[in-house]
Chain A
Amino acid sequence: MMRLAATTAISILLLFSVERIAAQAPANQIPRAPDGKPDLNGFWQVLNTADWDLESQGGGPAPKEGLMLGAISAIPPGLGVVEGGKIPYQPWALAKRNENRKNWPSLDPEVRCLLPGVPRVTYLPYPFQILQYKDTILMVYQYGYARREIYMKKREILIDQVMGWSHGHWEGDTLVVDVTDFSAPPELREDRPPIGNWLDRMGNFYSESLHVVERYTPIDATHLMYEATLDDPKVYTRPWKITMPLYRRLEKNMQILEFKCAEYVEEMKWGDLRKKADK
């Protein structure tokens, strides 16, 4: 009887051990999956202003579209996450970035709930969940319908995608993700500029020839260091890097809720096309 109880206890322990590691491991210990690789399962989020501006910026009022929201929509100050401070734009590209900036918010894909691309999806101010099992690591973001499958075995690349194609491998305890084959923003109408490929709300941008190498390195049970190197010979003079921590969301009842922003932007996009009551 006691043996049976002990066996049962052990099997229950085994059953729950994987789940418990993340919650119970000492803070300095990296949780590990059964295969010995770091266990990234769980919820992650940045705590910074990178989505406002990858470079440093001072605080300020919202643009005219958000003025009525006062301090709620004011622009927060931030130290920036770009190694060396500035993005190494080619001269034409710097001019275009500055032009983009003048056209925020109307040309920012985030304003229209469009897919944010990589790496921007990582530092949007929303949580995301990582599921890690077998040959795929899945990242599901709260924002819109954004998600990524990171293939740990080579897949044939079939088309360009807004979120690119992500192939991953482990270098020691670091998950390295190679992201390629981004699409260019589609020209849906002749009378409108294509919208997409922005890195933040301040108009920093990339082209469809972007190549991103992301590195997710666990530094303890509740933090990952996130680095992304952006190489785009059409836009930058050299590859450059952003670095920021990802924080584990520890709430016991944590779950990704629906943030289906497609619905929240309809009045903005089509409000003037709603049928008006006859007077």
Chain B
Amino acid sequence: MSRRVLIGVIVLGVLIAPASAAAQSATAQGYSDADLAKWPPPPSTYTPTRTPWGDPDIQGTYDFLSRIPFERPDEYQGKPVLTDKEWEEWLKANPPNMQGYNDFWNNRNFVRDRRTSLVVDPPNGRIPPRTAQAEKKLDAFDAAMRAPGRGKYDSWEDFRSVSRCIAVHTPQGPMDYNSAVLIMQSPGWVVMVRERLDTRIIPLDGRAHLEDNIREWNGDSRGHWEGNTLVVDTTNFTDKQMGNGGRKPVIEPGASAGAPFVPNGITFGNFHLIERFVPVGANRIHYYATIEDPTTWTKPWTYMLPWEKDDNYQMLEYGCLEGDISIEGSLRGERLIEAKEKAAAEAAKKK
């Protein structure tokens, strides 16, 4: 368990201990651990306060750092939620993976969650099989990537949208760092300000989706309240979105920048997303993302990510293009290597 999680648990204990019965019911969590892995979302017993115009008030700064595998590993089949002891053992065996980053970035506040997969539907915690059409497309993509003369970075389009400073994926999976979201509300609107790059703007007035020719990196969102749950329906995704590598395993916990389940070469063009933001406590939302894309997956599926509110978290400016030299450097390097190889090949021919 990371130190920050430990401190969080201790502080929570101090805060709750002396609270009166009334205060306790106000802060009580509206879910049990067993509920975490259920689909559809079990009803929450928590009732959020209201905005002056009558909407449930979910405003605040949230984060959703997670160490849960996206899909359930074989050894945990039939066990969607672990005991505390089993969870501690799992954590010990699976330390946070920051890949190329050093430990400075690893002081992270993981949201408490004892599940064995983020996927809650299908019940086996696995993303359903891809369609034959999608497999074919993926084969073609992989073949093209291995074709003679195809380099690692032929152009900037070989980089993910977040590296290009365009967009973080929607829906969001767990991220390495800087994954806070500020939720702001005004009459008729919910806005989600992501620490990195994007601001999602969601109208609640029942207007129709944008016309089909307008395609957006984050899609076009329309929201409404069902009781205390914010339901957001998103369409009009661009088909330019890149995922997280080809067929390689893409479910490293805490090591992705967005939607790790979409392999490169499979696009978002027909992607239909239904998100449910279920407030389950004063500081916690259970976020469910249901993906419907009959061209890519054989059936709809859903993952859940708990969001935890931390109003002391200060989001900072994400000056992405402002500090970007990496894509230019990578492209320049690739072209240099190619020129060298070409010169060497020509010299060998002459001999």
Contacting pair A147 B193 (CB below 8 A): yes
Give the interface segment out of B246-254, B280-288, B316-324.
Answer: B316-324
Contacting pair A275 B338 (CB below 8 A): yes
**Number of residue pairs A-B, CB distance < 8 angstroms:** 126
Contacting pair B201 A140 (CB below 8 A): yes
B60-85 vs A, Cβ < 8 Å mask (1 yes, 0 no)? 00000000000000000000000000
Contacts of B98 in A (CB 8 A): none
Contacting pair A138 B191 (CB below 8 A): yes
Residue A133 interfacial (CB < 8 Å): yes
Contacts of A278 in B (CB 8 A): 149
Contacting pair A140 B191 (CB below 8 A): yes
The answer for the CA separation of A189 and B326 in the assembled complex, in Å, is 12
The answer for the CA separation of A278 and B341 in the assembled complex, in Å, is 13
- Range, interface on chain B: 35 or more
Q: Among B59, B218, B315, B334, which residue has its beta carbon within 8 angstroms of that of A258?
A: B218
Q: Scan residues 318-351 of chain B and give those whose CB is less than 8 A from a CB of chain A.
A: 318-323, 325, 327-328, 331-332, 334-335, 338
Contacting pair A186 B322 (CB below 8 A): yes
Residue B164 interfacial (CB < 8 Å): yes
Q: Among B154, B156, B317, which residue has its beta carbon within 8 angstroms of that of A161?
A: B317
Contacts of A212 in B (CB 8 A): none
Contacts of B316 in A (CB 8 A): 158-159, 161
Interface centre among A34, A115, A134, A262 (most CB of B within 10 A): A262
The answer for the CA separation of A274 and B334 in the assembled complex, in Å, is 10
Residue B43 interfacial (CB < 8 Å): no
A7-31 vs B, Cβ < 8 Å mask (1 yes, 0 no)? 0000000111111000000000000
Q: Scan residues 146-182 of chain A and give those whose CB is less than 8 A from a CB of chain B.
A: 147, 149, 155-156, 158-159, 161-163
Give the interface segment out of A89-97, A213-221, A236-244, A263-271.
Answer: A263-271
Contacts of B90 in A (CB 8 A): none
Contacting pair B191 A188 (CB below 8 A): no
The answer for the CA separation of A179 and B182 in the assembled complex, in Å, is 21
Q: Contacts A161-B316, A270-B156: A262 and B331 contacting too (C-beta < 8 A)? A: no
Q: Among B167, B216, B328, which residue has its beta carbon within 8 angstroms of that of A257?
A: B216
In the complex, what's the smallest C-beta–C-beta distance from A15 to chain B, in angstroms?
5
Residue A131 interfacial (CB < 8 Å): yes
Give the interface segment out of B49-57, B113-121, B124-132, B293-301.
Answer: B49-57
Contacts of B54 in A (CB 8 A): 14-15
Contacting pair B184 A136 (CB below 8 A): yes
B169-187 vs A, Cβ < 8 Å mask (1 yes, 0 no)? 0000000000000101111
Contacting pair A257 B151 (CB below 8 A): no
In the complex, what's the smallest C-beta–C-beta distance from B52 to chain A, in angstroms?
4
Interface residues of A, dominant DSSP? loop
The answer for the CA separation of A196 and B318 in the assembled complex, in Å, is 15
Residue B155 interfacial (CB < 8 Å): yes
Interface residues of B, dominant DSSP? loop
Contacts of A273 in B (CB 8 A): 155, 328, 331-332, 335
Residue B203 interfacial (CB < 8 Å): yes
Q: Among A34, A114, A140, which residue has its beta carbon within 8 angstroms of that of B52?
A: A34
Residue A255 interfacial (CB < 8 Å): yes
Residue B214 interfacial (CB < 8 Å): yes
Contacting pair B328 A269 (CB below 8 A): yes
Residue B217 interfacial (CB < 8 Å): yes
Contacting pair A262 B321 (CB below 8 A): yes
Contacts of B182 in A (CB 8 A): 136, 138, 149
Specify the chain A residue showing the minimal Cβ separation from B317: A161
The answer for the CA separation of A34 and B155 in the assembled complex, in Å, is 52
Residue B166 interfacial (CB < 8 Å): yes
The answer for the CA separation of A158 and B323 in the assembled complex, in Å, is 18
Q: Contacts A131-B186, A140-B199: A15 and B314 contacting too (C-beta < 8 A)? A: no
Q: Contacts A19-B53, A158-B316, A257-B216: A275 and B166 contacting too (C-beta < 8 A)? A: no
Contacting pair B187 A18 (CB below 8 A): yes
Contacting pair A188 B323 (CB below 8 A): yes
Give 17 A-B contacts (CB < 8 Å), ordered by A residue.
A17-B53, A34-B53, A114-B321, A115-B319, A115-B322, A131-B189, A159-B316, A162-B317, A188-B323, A196-B322, A257-B216, A262-B166, A262-B320, A270-B328, A273-B335, A274-B331, A275-B154
Query: 5 more A-B contacts (CB under 8 A) besides A19-B53, A19-B187, A145-B197?
Result: A155-B314, A266-B164, A269-B328, A274-B155, A275-B155
